[in-house]
Structures are given as C-alpha cells and as structure tokens.
Structure 1
Amino acid sequence: MKRIIIGALAMATITFAACNSSHPSHEGHEHDSSAIAGEAVQQEAAAVKPQFTNVDPATAASLKLVVDHYLHIKNALAGDNASEAANGGKGMAAAMEKVDKAVMTSEQQQLYTENEDDLKEHAGHISKNGNNIEHQREHFAQMSEDVYALVKSFGGGQALYHDHCPMYNNNKGALWLSESKEIKNPYFGSEMATCGAVKEVMAPSAL
C-alpha cells in the first residue's frame, strides 16, 4: 500500500511539473529547464487556417459575437468569477439566436447545426449556475470542443490560441480557446493559473 501511495504521489508530481514546464519561466536563468520546455511548446504550436473560404460576412460577424461571449466565459472562469461566467453564458445564448443559417452553404449549415444544440445547452447551464463554478467548468470543457469545431471551420474573427490543460478531469485533459498567447487556465483559475500549453495558433479567417 505504501508503495502505491508513493507511486501515485510521484506521478502527480511529474504531471504537475510537466504542466508548469509548459509556461516559460521569467526568472532569467539561461539554462532553466522549465523555460526551455516552455519555449519548445510554443515553437511546436501549429498554424491553422479555417476550413471554409466562402463564409458570408453576416455569418462571420454573428459567429464572432458567439466567440466573444465564449471568451467572456473563459476569462471569468480563469478569474474564478462564477457570476460573471453566468453573464457570459447568457450573452452567448442570446448571440446564438441571431446567427442566420439561411446565408450559409449546405456544408456550413450542417457543421453549425451539429454543434448548435450542444452549445445552447452548455451556455444555459453556465448561465444558470452562477454559484457553482465547478459545474460551469464541466460544461465549459464540453462547450470548448464545440467552439473549437466552429472556429476551425468558420474562423473566430480574430487570431485565437488553442490551449490544452493536461490535468483537468482527473488528468484526462481539456482544451480551451484564448485571445491571448499567455496561459490563463479557466479550469483551475488561481489554483494553477499557468497550467497548460499552446497547441495551435488559429487564423481569424481562411483568407
């Protein structure tokens, strides 16, 4: 039993160290291992352009509003502010009601529809749980998968960073999108603010 406990603690320490190493050190040590690891992560981030090159301007504008409210939620969770995350959820739900699928191509409609109901459900849960940040974070993790699919296809109206936290959900990991290259983890907030790594840099449009 003692060996099992020691092994588990060692694994947790390794995982935590790996998570921390993804954020470059600012201590100024030339050979600091965490700084080197962080630089390597940044260099490996892939540049991604959206799939669709013929997105109607009205569609692009309405989806940017959806993404903006998603970022509102993300920043609130990173700041441990559940009530503000709830406001972001309300804003996102309202923005989705204004998305006009009629101007989309059939392929675009299909992709958007595949993610629409899930996004509305997650936005609803986040908006109604301003006193339960853990529940909000659970839905945010699933919401991020859907928003990532939309941004990867339509673009997000601005350059976005696809980040990944390896420790969330019992080390199963989770992604999120950010408007900033700086890691601010929405799943752990101030507990582990810099836990994560940039996986992709996503262009605002396919043009």
Structure 2
Amino acid sequence: MQLTIKYTLTSLAFLLFITCQSQIKNTKTISENIKGNCGMCKTTIEKAGNLKKVAEVNWDQKSKTATISFDSLQTNKDEILKRIALSGYDNDAYLAPDEVYAALPGCCQYERDHSDATMKHENHSTEMKHENHSNNMAHQSHKMEQSSNENTTSKSENHELNTVFETYFSLKDALVLSDAKSASIAASNLVKAIENVKMEKLEHKEHMVWMKILKEINSDVKSISNSKDLETQRKHFSSLSTNFYDLAKASDMQYPIHYQNCPMYNGGKGANWLSKENPIKNPYYGSKMMSCGSTVETIQ
C-alpha cells in the first residue's frame, strides 16, 4: 500500500513538472548540482529558481541535483543559478553570500566547501560566457524583430551599478569640499543605492566581487552617514574606496574611472580614491592640499 502511494506521488510530481515545462517556450533543459539538505531546502531552491512561463526548477534531495528547464530567449542558466545562490544555496557556478547562508534554518545549513565551489566556477566560466553570449545574441535578435526602430539606451545608463558609482562620486565630491553634512547625506543615498542593487542582474565577475565586498562597504557607508566628523568620514572613505576599486575593475561602466592616490594621508601610509575626472581633487585634505596626489591607474 505504501509503495503504491509513493509511486502515485512520484508520478504526480513528474506529471506536474512535465506540464509546467510544456508551458515554457524555446525550452532548454539542463541538470545542475545544488547543495542542500531537506524538504525546506527544496522549497527555497525551487521558489528562487522558478519564474512563471520562463524557468522551472525541480531539485532532488537525494542526488542534490536540479533539473532546470527555461526559455532560452528570455533567460539563461547563469541568471537562474544566481537567484538560487542568493537564496542561500551554493551551486556549480555561484556561492551563496555568507550572511544569507548563515541565516538559513539549522536543518538547511549544508556542509560548504568554498575551495571546491571556486574550482567548479573556474571550470565552468568559459562555458557560461559562451552560453551568455549565445543567449544575449538570440534575445537581441528577438527584440529587433519586435521593434526595429527603437533606439537603444547606452550600456552605462542601464548598468545595474551605475547609481552606486555615481553616488560614490557625489560622496567623494562632498569630501573634496570638506563638507561633512553633505558627505553624510551622500552616504545615506549610497546606502539606499546599495540596497536597490538587484544582484541577479549583475554580470558574473561583478556578482562575485559584490558578494565579497558587500558587508564591508555597507559598514563603511553607514559609518560615514552616521558621522558628522570629517576625519571619521575620510577614514571610512579610504576603506570604502579600496573595495570600490575592486568593483570598478570587475565592471564595464563604459567611461574611464581614474584610481588616484594621496601619499600623505594616514601618517604617510597613503590612501586611494576613484574619480571620473583625471585632474586631482583630494578628498582627504580638500582645499588644504587640493592637488596633492596622482592618478595611478585609469580603468577603462
């Protein structure tokens, strides 16, 4: 009797998956390894990956693999696996943010192996880039057929991190003017800009850097926002700029970003910052030593 019930439930689950898959057009089906432990994990993984009429995920608890079907003109496996990682579950391509993993219920906290996941990412990076390129080309062709006369918006205007960088530059400008109040306001705006970033829309390299620096940049930005003391703000801006440099290197902003250095700050240890303008305007000393420093790298 129990065997019959088990068989019936399995059959129903399979039929449901097939039905959902049939609703997805331009279907591509793949299998991916995704960490997890229990039924609660299954619910979270599938909810994160599923997108009505676009993507359907069926995760198997025993094998720790997911069968993923998706519309290849509307999404790709990279975007789906990003969403799953952001829900707390490591997979072949992406690691979950540490703070998200830590927030999982105890029964869902699977054994992690960062080195193994990193190796998997490296082995799959070429494949993912090729797939992303193919999917993007197909999607662009589809969009052109729908509206060949539409003007395209520049990549920099659509870039998910554009607002984050622009708000960072506003913060830098406030420190150049030695205006602690404006710096605090700019930092508050930067907190909001960071919160509004949709990580699933980031490119792969950006995503990996973003997960690495997110905790630190949030801490620095909030410290600047909560302070009215210029020296405190500048200290945290130095740390913030180091992380923003890594982010800029991973991003394609479509305009040059100048990485600049003040050798005098912090007792001669120096500090760096990012600028859209090449002429030096020192955020660590303002008018006292406005032109102190140099451009050490231009990121293009």
* Residues 1:65 and 2:168 aligned together: no
Q: 2:175 aligns with which of 66, 71, 77?
A: 77
Would the alpha carbon gap of residues 60 and 162 (structure 1) be closer, same or farther in structure 2, given more than 3 Å must change? farther
Change (3 A) 1:74 1:182: same
Tell whether 2:300 aligns with 1:182.
Answer: no
- Aligned in 2, Cα 1:154/1:107: closer, same or farther, shift over 3 Å? closer
What is residue 136 of structure 1 aligned with on the other side?
Answer: 233
Of 113, 130, 152, the residue aligned with 2:249 is 152
Corresponding position: 1:99 with 2:197: yes
CA-CA distance at 1:106 after TM superposition: 5.1
2 CA distance for matches of 1:74 and 1:107? Answer: 25
Equivalenced residues, count: 150
Given that 1:71 and 1:178 are in contact with CA atoms closer than 8 Å, whether structure 2 keeps it comes out as yes
- Letter in structure 1 aligned against 2:238: A
Indicate the percent of aligned positions where both proteins have the same amino acid.
30
Runs of 4+ in 1 over 6 A off after TM superposition: 53-56
Equivalent in the alignment of 1:192: 289
Q: 1:193 to 1:106 in 2, by over 3 A?
A: closer
Shift of residue 141, structure 1, vs aligned partner: 0.1
- Tell me: higher relative CO, structure 1 or 2? Use CA pairs within 8 A at least 6 residues apart: 1
Larger gyration radius, structure 1 or structure 2: 2
- 1:125 equivalent in structure 2: 223
Secondary structure (helix, strand or coil) at the match of 1:171 reads: coil
- Contact 1:61–1:157 (CA under 8 A) maintained in structure 2: no
Counterpart Cα distance in 2 of 1:186 and 1:111: 25
CA-CA distance at 1:157 after TM superposition = 4.7
Q: What do you get for the CA RMSD once the two structures are aligned? A: 2.4
1:65 deviates by 0.7
How has the CA–CA distance of structure 1 residues 80 and 110 changed in structure 2, closer, same or farther, with 3 Å as cutoff?
same
Structure 1 counterpart SS, 2:161: helix
1:11-50 aligned at under 5 Å gives the runs none
The answer to whether the aligner puts 1:89 opposite 2:182 as a matched pair is: no
Write the letter of the residue equivalent to 2:190: M
**Matched residue, 2:63:** none
Partner of 1:42: none
Aligned letter for 2:278? Answer: K
Q: Which runs of 5+ in 2 are unaligned?
A: 1-128, 137-154
The TM-score with structure 2 as length reference comes to 0.47
Cα distance, 1:110 vs structure 2: 2.1
- The reply on whether 1:116 has 2:187 as its aligned counterpart is no
- C-alpha distance in 2 between matches for 1:181 and 1:59: 21
- State how far apart, in whole Å, the 2-side matches of 1:59 and 1:109 are: 19
**Cα–Cα, structure 1 residues 164 and 127, in superposed 2: closer, same or farther, change >3 Å?**
same
Residue 201 (1) aligns with residue 273 (2): no
- Whole-Å Cα distance in 2 between the matches of residues 128 and 110 of structure 1? 28
Post-superposition offset of 1:62: 2.6
- TM-score, structure 1 as length reference: 0.67
